[in-house]
Structure 1
């Protein structure tokens, strides 16, 4: 729905946010911010957003990204489903995390920033969980507030159904003006003009091509909120792009950020968590689902690598067996060093993860080894290009994977975040490129050395973009 507060474009958003930002904590008293990830994601997806807030003066200890243990929604919110959370469980977890942040910081209120499904937990917490008293600002990037679809006949109990009980209750008018948001919290939604895969009139991205969803690009907007539209953004970029950060900063502070860039640090300390995949059947590949539970017993090795070839420069600069909590690190490094992270665990493919250098310290360098689908089990090697904070859109972006442009599997419409290759031949460099970011790694052909049962447990190369 379009409200009088809807604006199109970054320049209009700038003017609106400067005018609408009401009394807020001063720039000297940066409020604690709690970041809430979306369906199937983890805290690590907020890495670059946290860096941007730090680069604009936010103390690191006031920036908290939560890790929902089971981040996937149920197919039917009212029915238990292994490895998935209900809306009530999701909200309860967020509430407990906010209470921890309030206690640790001594603040009276927090800012909540969410992407996609995370916005449901934020709205539920503010409306039904007592959050209205402790949340000053709520920012929702790409949250499908009126559903990914709105069809009483299709998965009627899903929280993503705009005609279902969960969203119907959240969107019920709160006052005589028909506002859908709960006060006194100040609300901001950020959406795309027409490029969000989960705000489309056709069901292509939910497996129902040619069938109407009964939602539009305006679905993330909320009556009573400040609704900002930024052209061409995809579903994830509504929360993780520089333009989205700019809107967030202006809304919280009433001022433009000093920079949209990540300001490098001289001393970089990296740490995070090693997580795995749960199982919903006896088939370790087809029956797996994403979770953020620790993977104790996993072996991690980190190598400094040559930036041009991906070759290791000597032995590991860090090595450990992951303990019960899943934590790894810390690793002291420099802002210019490129690394290879190798994660090995029984039942998983040994996974070699390559990324751009880390310009700043982070506790959000989370790592997850791969399980291979049936189609990849006989491959000589597997390589994956992964863009966690956005999608691969050949109609919009400049990108290539191992010299192939567009990367295999990338589709117009910003709906695919990964590309997969099965490179043959001896080990060699392999490159992922996206809008100027260039990640170099190595292929790892099958050596016959297994880390778990089954002939399909080959090594996997993952080239992951910071972007």
Structure 2
């Protein structure tokens, strides 16, 4: 064969290969991202801080910290009526728009094509709305909804229909409308998973006791968070918040995203430990006298001091190890901590009580250590000191959990049965300036009972 003939044959083969899609000329598809960016979306009245143990668990399994992003909705409480503006609260549209902007920031920062969205409770509404109506289908690969009341906290076509939590109202009716050939309730193009309790979720109950309507049917079942077309994960005994923040929820979420189980659900330690977060307050725009509306706005001008404490007594071990007056961004750090030390965080701001928050040691770094300045309730002003045990990432269940506060096991104010209370308040009536010990399922915190008469309020905040 002549040289010219050989060239013609080669060109003919190349053209045929190109037309037939021969692998010689096909561009290989991009390899799946082993660690896609994850955006965590908190629930009604909550903050990004609730995700810090979940982030720690992802990091403990090798997920890069820069690919784990938790959003902080400025006004996290839903409106009573979706169609009526309400000071200090957000609509479903505002919620969705905020999430959309945050997703775009994460995509730009990471260079990724898509993100994973993980939401707790109301956060799942924003995720569903964004994917269905906000252009999220092309930007989201997986959606995980923990405890989201997808069929409502109640479902009544004649009562409070303007609430986004009414399963018979226009918002959820539209989201749950059948889609695709199988009549799925989820938007096609995204992989979906719901995580729910078998019967211990306070917002998936057939009786309205947890919404102030004891004995009135809600028309919602224990399976209310499940959605047709989504993988439905049921974990026995977990409460509403544990559907997102507990170790079982983490294991299910990790497996769903990574297509394999996590190596561990424990939180591994690291060094050094660097902490940071935002300081916020209560009231509309943090203005004194405007009520106890939860918000995630920066409390500029607040002063934060951090003290290492004796883990057995709550007493300070010397002078403050960190002090900062908060600027416009609300950030109180960074602070390099001892991963073995217990700490007291003190917030002082005009219009608020001096707020003392005692915490267990931090095994890992976090920029989600958000702090909130509080006020003393009028009903508590007769106490020598007011000490509150709080569990932000779950509720207290009796007899499920082992809980004690100042020697009482269980503390007062926690009803038996469905786990639905996340705080236990102690009104110290004997004397202030003494240790108060709290314990929850193996986690122990000791703080000092600072005097209420001098406008001090105390919180013992659990990690778990």
* Normalised TM-score (structure 1): 0.91
Q: Which residue of 1 aligns with 2:251?
A: 246
Cα contact 1:33–1:64 (8 A) shared by 2: yes
The Cα shift of 1:208 comes to 0.6
The Cα shift of 1:440 comes to 1.0
Q: Which residue of 1 aligns with 2:450?
A: 444
Distance 1:128 1:25, change over 3 A: farther
Q: Which residue of 2 aligns with 1:68?
A: 73
Distance 2:338 2:64 in 1: 21
Cα contact 1:284–1:371 (8 A) shared by 2: no
Alignment of 1:322 onto 2:326: yes
Q: Which residue of 2 aligns with 1:90?
A: 95
Give unmatched runs, 5+ long, in structure 1: 1-22, 449-457
Q: Which residue of 2 aligns with 1:408?
A: 412
Cα contact 2:74–2:295 (8 A) shared by 1: yes
The Cα shift of 1:283 comes to 7.6
Distance 2:457 2:31 in 1: 47
Q: Which residue of 1 aligns with 2:182?
A: 177
Q: Give 3-state SS (helix, strand or coil) of 1:52's partner.
A: helix
Distance 1:410 1:336 in 2: 31
RMSD: 1.6
Distance 1:341 1:281, change over 3 A: closer
Q: 1:380 aligns with which of 380, 384, 387?
A: 384
The Cα shift of 1:176 comes to 2.4
Distance 1:438 1:229 in 2: 29
Distance 1:253 1:331, change over 3 A: same
Q: Give 3-state SS (helix, strand or coil) of 1:294's partner.
A: coil
Q: Which residue of 2 aligns with 1:462?
A: 459
Q: Give 3-state SS (helix, strand or coil) of 2:126's partner.
A: helix
Q: 2:193 aligns with which of 188, 195, 200?
A: 188
Q: Residue deviations 1:212-271, cap 9 Å, x none?
A: 100010000000000010000000000000000000010001111000000100210000
The Cα shift of 1:67 comes to 0.1
The Cα shift of 1:395 comes to 1.7
Q: 1:141 aligns with which of 127, 141, 146?
A: 146
Distance 1:311 1:94 in 2: 42
Q: 1:49 aligns with which of 46, 54, 59?
A: 54
Which moves more between the two structures, 134-143 or 428-437? Answer: 428-437
Q: Give 3-state SS (helix, strand or coil) of 1:422's partner.
A: strand
Which moves more between the two structures, 96-105 or 401-410? Answer: 401-410
Q: 1:80 aligns with which of 79, 85, 89?
A: 85
Trace 1:277-356 onto structure 2 (pairs within 5 A).
Answer: 277-279=282-284, 284=289, 287-356=291-360
Distance 1:352 1:89, change over 3 A: same
The Cα shift of 1:328 comes to 1.1
Q: Give 3-state SS (helix, strand or coil) of 2:358's partner.
A: strand
Give unmatched runs, 5+ long, in structure 2: 1-28
Q: 1:131 aligns with which of 122, 133, 136?
A: 136
The Cα shift of 1:321 comes to 0.8
Number of aligned residue pairs: 434
Q: 1:115 aligns with which of 88, 112, 120?
A: 120
Cα contact 2:384–2:453 (8 A) shared by 1: no
Q: Residue deviations 1:341-385, cap 9 Å, x none?
A: 000111111111001100000000000011222211232210000
* Normalised TM-score (structure 2): 0.91
Q: Which residue of 2 aligns with 1:434?
A: 440
Cα contact 2:381–2:452 (8 A) shared by 1: no
The Cα shift of 1:279 comes to 3.7
Distance 1:386 1:178, change over 3 A: same
Structure scoring higher RCO (CA < 8 A, sep ≥ 6) equals 1
Q: Which residue of 2 aligns with 1:453?
A: none
Q: Give 3-state SS (helix, strand or coil) of 1:382's partner.
A: strand
Q: Residue deviations 1:75-122, cap 9 Å, x none?
A: 010110001000000000000000000000000000000000000000
